């Protein structure tokens, strides 16, 4: 698994080449959609309540429309005796980069971010505050193993970057060691793989065609999350997402 792998860039596939395949269309709309990120670990005994809170968002009307949830499992607690099968060093590095960019003072779990900013009051607030601004419409078309991304927002002076994550739903682990020994943990919105590519300027914004991330993990349901950044920091500018059809 190689998250954030730069892909061969290309423009949208022609409609003729896709005519015989079903296409899933996801769109943010013109209003800002908040990317909600949870940095968590099965080796951390403080994380299960945060995991449950993220899972509760599956029942909220704002899912995919107002916010897109992600659970990045970090690997820096694996030394406590339990190796989290969903953890990846790149996800730990993502959290550390937030610290370097000033989004958080220290790296810890469970750690929530909303719109690239630390969100400490998740227990009290329930849902992240509504984002403001006009970030542009982010649209993703998923056909077979391809994701065509289009964004009509303003990339400023940098080349914007699009990221696509494959999410696993209703995943569980019976933990046999470490701080959560003896517990059966359930997870939703688990990031199983991430791929990123620079967006190419087109007449009406930016576009790129990328491969859909893959995973050997067996899940009851999969989802996809797509977001764009300015290419200089990892703070999201706009996001969209949704459930994938059954495989």
| Mean confidence (pLDDT) of the chain | 88
Residue 214 pLDDT greater than 50, yes or no: yes
Phi, psi of 44 (to 5 degrees): -110, 120
Whole-number pLDDT of residue 22? 80
Which pTM was predicted? Answer: 0.89
Q: Per-residue confidence at 21, pLDDT binned at 50, 70, 90?
A: low
Predicted pLDDT of residue 102: 78
| Residue 29 to residue 67: CA distance in whole angstroms | 12
| Cα 247 to Cα 244: distance, rounded to the nearest angstrom | 8
Percent of the chain clearing pLDDT 90 (strictly above): 76
What is the predicted pLDDT for the residue at 9? 33
Q: Exposed (0-12), middle (13-18) or buried (19+): which is 102, by Cβ within 10 Å? A: exposed
pLDDT at 141 over 60: yes
């Amino acid at each position: 698994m190689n998250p954030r792998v730069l892909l061969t860039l290309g423009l949208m596939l022609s409609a003729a080449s896709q005519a015989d395949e079903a296409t899933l269309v996801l769109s943010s709309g013109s209003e800002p959609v908040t990317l909600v990120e949870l940095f968590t670990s099965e080796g951390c005994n403080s994380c299960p309540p945060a995991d449950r809170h993220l899972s509760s968002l599956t029942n909220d009307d704002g899912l995919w429309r107002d916010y897109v949830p992600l659970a990045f499992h970090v690997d820096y607690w694996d030394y406590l005796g339990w190796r989290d099968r969903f953890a990846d060093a790149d996800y730990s590095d993502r959290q550390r980069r937030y610290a370097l960019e000033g989004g958080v003072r220290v790296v810890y779990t469970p750690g929530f971010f909303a719109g690239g900013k630390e969100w400490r009051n998740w227990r009290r607030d329930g849902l992240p505050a509504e984002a403001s601004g006009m970030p542009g419409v982010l649209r993703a078309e998923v056909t077979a193993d391809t994701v065509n991304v289009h964004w009509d927002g303003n990339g400023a002076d940098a080349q914007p970057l699009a990221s696509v994550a494959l999410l696993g739903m209703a995943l569980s682990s019976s933990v046999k060691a470490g701080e959560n020994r003896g517990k059966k943990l359930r997870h939703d919105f688990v990031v199983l793989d991430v791929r990123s590519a620079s967006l190419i300027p087109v007449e009406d914004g930016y576009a790129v065609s990328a491969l859909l991330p893959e995973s050997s993990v067996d899940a009851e349901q999969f989802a996809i999350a797509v977001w764009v950044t300015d290419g200089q920091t990892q703070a999201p500018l706009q996001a969209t997402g949704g459930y994938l059809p059954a495989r």
